[in-house]
Amino acid sequence: MHSESPLPPDNSPSGGDSVVQDSNSGETAQLPAVQHSFSTLNELIDHSVQRYAGYPVIGMAFEEPLTYRQFSYRIHCLARHMRSQGLKQGDRVALLAENSHNWATAYLAVVRLGAVAVPILPDLPENDVRHIICEMECDIVFISQKQIEKIYELKKNIKKIITLDDYYEENGVIATEPYSRFLLNAEEHCKQNEGAPFPEVKKDDLASILYTSGTSGFSKAVMLSHNNLCANAISASKLIAIDPGKTFLSVLPISHTYEFTVGFLLPLIKGCRIVYAGKTPTPAVLQKICSKEKPSAMLVVPLIMEKIFKKRVIPAIEKSRVLSYVCRFSFGRKFIYRKIGKKLLQFFGNNLEVMGIGGAAINPDVEIFLRDAGFPYLVGYGLTESSPLISGGPQGDKTILIGSAGKPVPGVDVRISNPNPETGIGEIQARGDNIMKGYWNDEEATREAMTEDGWLRTGDMGLLDGAGNLHIVGRSKSVIVLASGENIYPEAIEHK
């Protein structure tokens, strides 16, 4: 066990070795080389607080952000307060709410104690939510007003319900405590009680249990350790170059491991400021936020870019006979796409340095547009079971082919199992510190997911090309074998 004193709120920059780009001077100061030696989330946030203490870290769009120091102080206070109310190491706490700095603070407070966070996707139906909370035996639930009806039937099973958006009804169907009041009590508790040291959290201790999407019945519960998430966040941090103090816009659900690792942990490692949209990112909302916040990085799913391409780019070309004719030729298409690409960058605030695209296959026509337009994007691939990144980028690598999912990320080994001698296609398997500990209470499913020599069976079929790019062609369970012996993958046909 070791003592951890909460840092007091401080609006001043850190006096240590921290160096941040001066947005007014236009010059970038060089940071000392960072040795990422942390293997728990507690070490990760402590490392960042020590390095970037006075710099902005997290907040909602159009609002004043917390500094790294203030963020750490809240995390410590919430952790101590929850401990005083009975939360202990190994207990599980559910988070069912939309993205916010309050969600992030609650999560890190839970794992600070050695308890386990159970993020639940906000769009899950009521039956799934009830199943998860009951199976995980969560005594504490952090929730939002939009989600609260999903747990009405569980009100007798849950000891404390805290509304992250401060929703409160004095005579409501279910007893809740607004987050702001819970935080105020936590800070008062912190001032009056130094408290015992937090329990030691080890790298192989569970940090999160996340439910994957299932094709039938309830989904599987994936157990991810502190080291799983830290290792993958460190891997992701090596794919992009983004300076401390830059803004990372978060629009995808933080309860999904893709946004959590790459859109939350990675910015913390880099010393960035995370901005949450606070509402559904429609084009109008997104444009307004980007115009004000000037994000340098963000993550999206392919659907967002496909909608922009189909609803804005294609109509703009088709309404002009000249543009339509010019785009029939490669040189003409690239010229037009480059012009449109500049306007697209303006749409995203004219400050975007990198956009990560993942979560599904991207339409080849959309990717050709992005490449020809000179748009700064990376395509990634992974699964919840791998925390999630297996491949992606790296930024600036000109050998990445359109249609591929980039190179295997640093620290993750990828192999193709039983490749077809003619096509090179086989099952994609991965190995590394990012691979899950297993499925909760399901040893059989865990055994099926892993090979005897410790590789994760992704269930996806693909190949590695000569440049090391990973190409995904479909799911192993959906392959169709023709009479000729040829394998057909429905997923590969979908975008053709």
The whole-number pLDDT of residue 172 equals 64
With a cut of 60, say whether residue 471 has pLDDT above it: yes
With a cut of 90, say whether residue 245 has pLDDT above it: yes
Tally of CB atoms within 10 A around 15: 8
DSSP 234: H
Confidence of residue 193 (pLDDT cuts 50, 70, 90): confident
Kindly state the tokens that stand for 117: 């966070």
Confidence of residue 148 (pLDDT cuts 50, 70, 90): very high
For the chain, percent of residues with pLDDT exceeding 90? 74
Lowest mean pLDDT among 9-18, 237-246, 413-422: 9-18
Confidence of residue 481 (pLDDT cuts 50, 70, 90): very low
Closest CA to 260 of 434, 431, 414, 384: 384
- Greater confidence (100 vs 3) lies with 100
With a cut of 80, say whether residue 20 has pLDDT above it: no
Confidence of residue 155 (pLDDT cuts 50, 70, 90): confident
pLDDT per position as a tens digit, 446-455 = 999 999 999 9
With a cut of 70, say whether residue 21 has pLDDT above it: no
CA angle 82, 85, 87 (to 5 degrees): 60
With a cut of 50, say whether residue 493 has pLDDT above it: no
Closest CA to 431 of 270, 235, 260, 264: 235
The whole-number pLDDT of residue 9 equals 46
The whole-number pLDDT of residue 367 equals 96
218: Cβ–Cβ under 8 A, 6 or more apart, which residues? 128, 131, 211
Closest CA to 436 of 295, 229, 273: 229
Look at the block and give the residue holding tokens 């956009």: 355
CA angle 295, 301, 306 (to 5 degrees): 100
**Burial status of residue 476 (CB atoms within 10 A of its CB: 0-12, 13-18, 19 or more):** middle
The whole-number pLDDT of residue 111 equals 99
The whole-number pLDDT of residue 178 equals 96
Cβ atoms of 63 and 74 within 8 Å: the answer is no
Parallel, antiparallel, or unpaired: how do β-strands 160-163 and 177-178 relate? parallel
**Burial status of residue 239 (CB atoms within 10 A of its CB: 0-12, 13-18, 19 or more):** buried
The whole-number pLDDT of residue 106 equals 99
Look at the block and give the residue holding tokens 């000037």: 294
Cis peptide upstream of residue 125 (ω within 30 degrees of 0): no
| Domain boundaries along the sequence of the chain | 41-237
Cβ atoms of 242 and 31 within 8 Å: the answer is no
The torsion angles phi and psi of 303, rounded to 5 degrees, stand at -55, -40
Q: What is the secondary structure of 120-167 as a DSSP string? A: --TTS-HHHHHHHHHHHT-SEEEE-GGGGGGGGGGTTT-SEEEETT--
Closest CA to 312 of 277, 360, 348: 348
With a cut of 80, say whether residue 18 has pLDDT above it: no
Q: What is the secondary structure of 291-346 as a DSSP string? A: HHH--SEEEE-HHHHHHHIIIIIHHHHHT-HHHHHHTTSHHHHHHHHHHHHHHHHH
Residue 247's DSSP bridge partners are 273
Convert 37-66 to b/e letters by CB count within 10 Å (16 or more is b).
ebbbbbbbbbbbbbbbbbbbbbbbbeeebb
Classify domain 41-237 by CATH number. Answer: 3.40.50.12780
For the whole model, what pTM was predicted? 0.89
The whole-number pLDDT of residue 13 equals 39
DSSP 2: B
